[in-house]
Amino acid sequence: MTEPTGPRLFAAPDDIRAIGEAMLACTLPKESWTHEAHLSTCLWLLVERPDIDVDAQIGDLIRRYNVSVGGVNDATQGYHETITRAFVAGVRAYLARDVERDLLAAVNGLLAAPEGQRDWPLRFWSRERLFSPEARLGFVAPDLAPLPGG
């Protein structure tokens, strides 16, 4: 990945695929599981991995990966159900309006789009609600505005 002033963009589509495959295989170094890696993996799964049901499997995939790098998934750390579901909805909304492009352009476009911003879920949830233990452990409906497609 390159390091511009905004989001860390990817240099090649194989970099995106490699991160996604390494996350699935639980071989991705913990420090490589960045915000950009999360979003690129989500988009890659939705676009290139029809064998994976993102809605049914994303939580287990991330929790398994977190444990593989020594993480804990509980009410205060690790996997966050509501944030994950928010970004899956955001990636889908982005893909629904994005013209057909290759994987690299799609991922880098997402990272520059509103749905790719770290604080994007705060358009829909208050900070208190989004960062509650309940929202980490299970999906909590937005309290500010409905999610796109929801």
- 7 within domain boundaries: no
Other C-beta atoms closer than 10 Å to the C-beta of 63 total: 17
- 82 within domain boundaries: yes
15 membership: H or E segment, kind and range: helix 13-25
What is the predicted pLDDT for the residue at 98? Answer: 75
What's the whole-number average pLDDT of the chain? 94
- 76 within domain boundaries: yes
Stretches in the chain below the pLDDT threshold 50: 1-4
- 146 within domain boundaries: no
Structural domains in the chain (count): 1
pTM value?
0.93
What is the predicted pLDDT for the residue at 1? Answer: 47
pLDDT digits (tens, 9 = 90+) for 107-136: 999 999 999 999 999 999 999 999 999 999
Other C-beta atoms closer than 10 Å to the C-beta of 37 total: 21
Buried b (16+ CB within 10 A) or exposed e, 97-107: eeeeeebbebb
Question: Using alpha carbons only, how large is the chain's radius of gyration in Å?
Answer: 15
Which residues span the domain enclosing 46?
13-137
